[in-house]
Amino acid sequence: MPDTSSPGANSSGANGSPSAAERRELTAAQRNAVTELLRVSPVADELGRRFARAGHELHLVGGSVRDALLGRLGDDLDFCTDAHPEETLRLIKGWAEATWETGREFGTIGAARGGLRLEITTFRAEAYDGVTRNPVVRYGKSLLDDLRRRDFTINAMAVSLPDHRFTDPHRGLDDLATRVIRTPGTPQESFGDDPLRMLRAARFAAQLRFAVEPGVRAAMAALATDLDRITAERIRDEFVKLMSGADPITGLRLLVDTGLADRFLPELSGLKLEIDEHAQHKDVYEHTLTVVSNAIALEDGEPDFLLRMAALMHDVGKPATKAVGSDGRVSFHHHEVVGARMTKQRMKALRFPKDVTSAVVDLVGLHLRFYGYGRGEWTDSAVRRYVTDAGDLLPRLHKLTRSDCTTRNRRKAAALAADYDALETRIARIQAEEDLARVRPDLDGNAIMELLGVPAGPIVGRAWRHLKEVRLERGPLDRDEAEAELLRWARAEGIG
């Protein structure tokens, strides 16, 4: 892939040229790109030839080129072209296995072919209205126009199709080798046009483990309030990607240090003001980041956003519940209850789906339940309630609770780990005996109606809930015991 780029502004080694180590990185990146492009070439090159025969350019562009260079190109490919959307549709008609036009107003046509999802966008040279992030779509005249409007240099590279010429006018390849996030133009102009790019910088830092160039970082801090122009849904989506990255801690620190977190997640920054009651960390903020890291280490395979978000929010109730006793010790009584309420409010404001919000809120509310188990106070009934209240979240609750143990006291850490091992063993025993995953009353609604001689209605619901409480307290009952308990309850309630 010959380099047709114009000189960039960054310098990596002496006299602005890459160092020997960086040249090795560039060579490795180029080898990655060749391998990845060969994988998608049958479709990409075929598409490129269709555009070329019609007198149009087609380039693989942006994140697709970046990911190819990193050796991680997926099945979603981004292209740009000088053809307008109606011409693109004409060129792929009969070739694409499916097409969609949801992005047509922004110049984008989607297509599927050979197991790949393709998005083909007309060259753009956008202007923004300065109030929202919505661009005023204006088609560009050239590939360079299009690359100039992109967010970061590592996303401002292109490979032409079908001839595979490489274009890199802003030295994105150098920044990829040195693992730096930098904007093609000034960061003030870039972020002023689209403030969401500031959050994207933090997201890429988390996903790629790249450093943000100091000038970009300074602009993020200076323009943080501009993030208020962005819709909650778009902020949420970027934040989920950040939290699901390889190194969310780097991204979270960047959000707090630049003030961006204050615009949409102020609870996180607020933790820096609170001192951990055990004096194990500088503050609750540092403890929280440690818990997130611990939770990540316990994941099984893919990133678990629910677990990571619960770890992030588990102590947000501490600032509101802080109290200092007469002995000078700091306490945060019932911070899990307050934190669950705050988590629900914040996730609602960010427009998270109800099921996602409910799961995270439940984990936050339950994360302290385990403490006290080691004192021998838990009955089998308490264990049943723990499992029942957690429901499908129990495996995550196990991980969250273990992650929350960040004490540097080895003896205490070992004791807590042993206590939780004992609890899990006890849960497994009771589950095997009683099938805790499906705790139900020992009589169903039909049996209750028959025994009490009542129709369907509130009485049946009350009876069902009573029998479930008995089931949790005493374990399974046989049929005679369950019927006797139901009749005893009915007499006490004046029913029948």
Dist CA 428 CA 287 (whole Å) = 30
Residue found under tokens 């409910």: 358
Q: How many CB atoms lie within 10 A of CB 59?
A: 26
pLDDT the model gives residue 422: 85
Dist CA 304 CA 301 (whole Å) = 9
Dist CA 115 CA 134 (whole Å) = 31
Dist CA 215 CA 173 (whole Å) = 19
Structure-token pair, residue 457: 């209605």
pLDDT the model gives residue 375: 64
pLDDT the model gives residue 260: 98
Query: 491 — phi, psi (to 5°)?
Result: -65, -45
pTM reported for the whole predicted model: 0.79
Dist CA 469 CA 482 (whole Å) = 12
Instruction: Name the DSSP letter for residue 3.
Output: B
Dist CA 242 CA 221 (whole Å) = 18
Instruction: Name the DSSP letter for residue 137.
Output: -
pLDDT the model gives residue 376: 64
Please choose, from the candidates 247, 80, 205, 76, the residue with its C-alpha nearest in 3D space to the C-alpha of residue 149.
Answer: 80
**Average pLDDT per consecutive 10 residues, the chain (496 residues; last block may be shorter):** 38 51 70 79 94 97 92 93 96 96 92 96 73 64 92 95 93 93 94 94 96 97 96 97 97 98 96 59 82 96 96 93 75 86 97 97 92 69 83 92 84 82 84 59 73 82 78 74 79 78
Give the ranges where 303-409 is alpha helix by DSSP (H). Answer: 305-313, 318-321, 335-349, 354-366, 380-390, 394-403
